[in-house]
Amino acid sequence: MAAASVGAPLLGLGGAEATLSRLRPPPPGGHESIPLRRSAAAVAASIPRRRESLRSAERASVASSRKTPTRAMLGFPSLCPTSLPSRQSRGRNNVRRRAPVAAALLELKPPPYPLDALEPHLSREAVEHHWGRHQRSHVDCLNAAIAGTQLEGMELEDMVVAAYNKGDPHPPFVHAAQIWNHDFFWQSMKPGGGGEPSGRLMELIERDFGSYERMIKELKHAALTQFGSGWAWLAYKANRLEVGNAVNPCPSEKDNKLVVAKTPNAVNPLLWDYSPLLAIDVWEHAYYLDYENRRADYVSTFLDKLVSWEVVSSRLENAINRATERAKVDEKRRQDDDVEATSRKPVEMYLDSDNDDSETE
Ligand SMILES: [Fe+2]
């Protein structure tokens, strides 16, 4: 009945092979995939120009962050890779002042409402800081980190799984995952949100948690007991796990049910092949400007005043449809395997035995 709260960091299974080749296709109408793609030719043709553009944007981002003491105050880590050439290392003749470049491989996706729309529960200042600075920094850094790599041009959701690298994350992982997580987080809220869910979502909550109140209690517990930075999630555990990315955090749970989980840093349920339904950002930067260190007040306000159960319901329907389609594919694969195994069976031949009694008389 109760869903498992998952607190331990994920454990890698080892072995990096096949990570990129085993990516699942985007679910039909599934998670809110972030459109990133261009044609391969267009991407290849623009790489040199974009690399220089990203370096310029990177310099502008770093300069901007130096003017912002609140970044250090909120404990946001140093974001960008150190592999980018410094101005000095490129020589004086190559130093040019360029304006920051707006266009990049991946663009910062705005919340689906005005930045002041969540007031008085989340102030415009807090949203601007959270989205406009923190998330933007991840976008800038990811674009710089993936240029010219196998991750470039990949769907963001697939990039998260690939960059996690079975528990031995590549540097772009934190940026890709935090962008995905934040887009998902903003979409999880709406002005005038809160209340209680209805329809199939409520039915499954009552089935899997016993009651709505019990689910809220577990979700709050996950959000408040996540040590340090991280996320609390409501997710739909589908009928199979195939990513090979991490130890299944709910090995004893039944399939096709709702679960509550908490994750450290940028980790999210995509790594377990679960379908995330709701995300609560419990990094301090998410609430410090409005709630200081009162994480409990922030989490309660999120669930009472901001959460969009309509969005969660829509995600649940997509998750169930995805699980259903995958079950059909699994069944078809099993049938094909059975047919193939049968066709390979050697013909059994029964030879007359020397001891055949019928011939002894
Ligand atoms: Fe955040």
Give Cα 195 to chain centroid, integer Å: 26
C-alpha 169/C-alpha 316 separation (Å) is 28
Using the mean position of ligand 1's atoms as its centre, give its distance from the Cα of residue 286 in Å.
5
Using the mean position of ligand 1's atoms as its centre, give its distance from the Cα of residue 349 in Å.
69
Using the mean position of ligand 1's atoms as its centre, give its distance from the Cα of residue 241 in Å.
27
Using the mean position of ligand 1's atoms as its centre, give its distance from the Cα of residue 196 in Å.
25
Q: Which pLDDT score is estimated for 340?
A: 80
Helices assigned H by DSSP within the chain:
40-66, 69-73, 124-127, 136-146, 156-164, 172-187, 199-209, 212-225, 288-291, 295-301, 309-344
Secondary structure string (H, E, C) spanning 109-131? CCCCCCCCCCCCCCCHHHHHHHH
Residue whose tokens read 């059909």: 328
* Closest alpha carbon to 42 in 109, 110, 103: 103
**Contact yes or no for 170/288 (Cβ under 8 A):** no
Residue whose tokens read 């090995």: 251
* Closest alpha carbon to 326 in 239, 237, 204: 239
Residue whose tokens read 């200081």: 292
Using the mean position of ligand 1's atoms as its centre, give its distance from the Cα of residue 336 in Å.
45
Using the mean position of ligand 1's atoms as its centre, give its distance from the Cα of residue 181 in Å.
8
Angle at 111 between CA 109 and CA 113, to 5 degrees: 140
Using the mean position of ligand 1's atoms as its centre, give its distance from the Cα of residue 96 in Å.
33
C-alpha 218/C-alpha 222 separation (Å) is 6
Q: Which two tokens stand for residue 30?
A: 């599934």
Q: What are phi and psi of 154, to 5 degrees?
A: -75, 150
Using the mean position of ligand 1's atoms as its centre, give its distance from the Cα of residue 268 in Å.
13
pTM reported for the whole predicted model: 0.68
Q: What are phi and psi of 84, to 5 degrees?
A: -65, 140
Using the mean position of ligand 1's atoms as its centre, give its distance from the Cα of residue 88 in Å.
33
Q: Which pLDDT score is estimated for 158?
A: 94
The secondary structure element, H or E, covering residue 259 is strand 257-264
Q: Which two tokens stand for residue 117?
A: 């729309």
Using the mean position of ligand 1's atoms as its centre, give its distance from the Cα of residue 247 in Å.
25
Using the mean position of ligand 1's atoms as its centre, give its distance from the Cα of residue 57 in Å.
21
* Domains defined for the chain, CATH in brackets: 40-317 (3.55.40.20)
pLDDT per residue rounded down to tens, the chain (361 residues): 333 433 333 322 222 222 222 333 333 333 333 333 333 344 344 434 444 443 444 444 333 333 332 333 322 334 454 333 333 333 333 333 344 443 347 999 999 999 999 999 999 999 999 999 999 999 999 999 999 899 998 999 999 999 998 888 999 999 999 999 999 999 999 999 999 999 999 999 999 999 999 999 999 999 999 999 999 999 998 765 555 555 666 665 667 899 999 999 999 999 888 899 999 999 999 999 999 999 999 999 999 999 999 999 999 999 999 988 988 888 888 888 888 877 776 656 555 545 544 444 3
Amino acid at 117: A
Using the mean position of ligand 1's atoms as its centre, give its distance from the Cα of residue 186 in Å.
10
Using the mean position of ligand 1's atoms as its centre, give its distance from the Cα of residue 248 in Å.
25
Using the mean position of ligand 1's atoms as its centre, give its distance from the Cα of residue 355 in Å.
81
Using the mean position of ligand 1's atoms as its centre, give its distance from the Cα of residue 39 in Å.
31
Using the mean position of ligand 1's atoms as its centre, give its distance from the Cα of residue 219 in Å.
18
**Contact yes or no for 150/20 (Cβ under 8 A):** yes
Using the mean position of ligand 1's atoms as its centre, give its distance from the Cα of residue 282 in Å.
7
Q: Which neighbouring-strand residues pair with 256?
A: none
Report residues near ion ligand 1: CB below 5 Å. 281, 283, 286
Using the mean position of ligand 1's atoms as its centre, give its distance from the Cα of residue 15 in Å.
31
Using the mean position of ligand 1's atoms as its centre, give its distance from the Cα of residue 102 in Å.
22
Residue whose tokens read 């517990």: 221
Any residues with CB less than 8 A from the CB of 260 and at least 6 apart, and which? 3, 4, 5, 215, 218, 219, 222, 232, 233, 234, 235
Using the mean position of ligand 1's atoms as its centre, give its distance from the Cα of residue 122 in Å.
13
Q: Is there a cis peptide before residue 120, judged by omega within 30 degrees of 0? A: yes
Using the mean position of ligand 1's atoms as its centre, give its distance from the Cα of residue 115 in Å.
15
Beginning with the edge strand found earlier in the chain, give each strand of the sheet holding 257-264 in spatial order: 257-264, 230-237, 275-281
Using the mean position of ligand 1's atoms as its centre, give its distance from the Cα of residue 166 in Å.
23
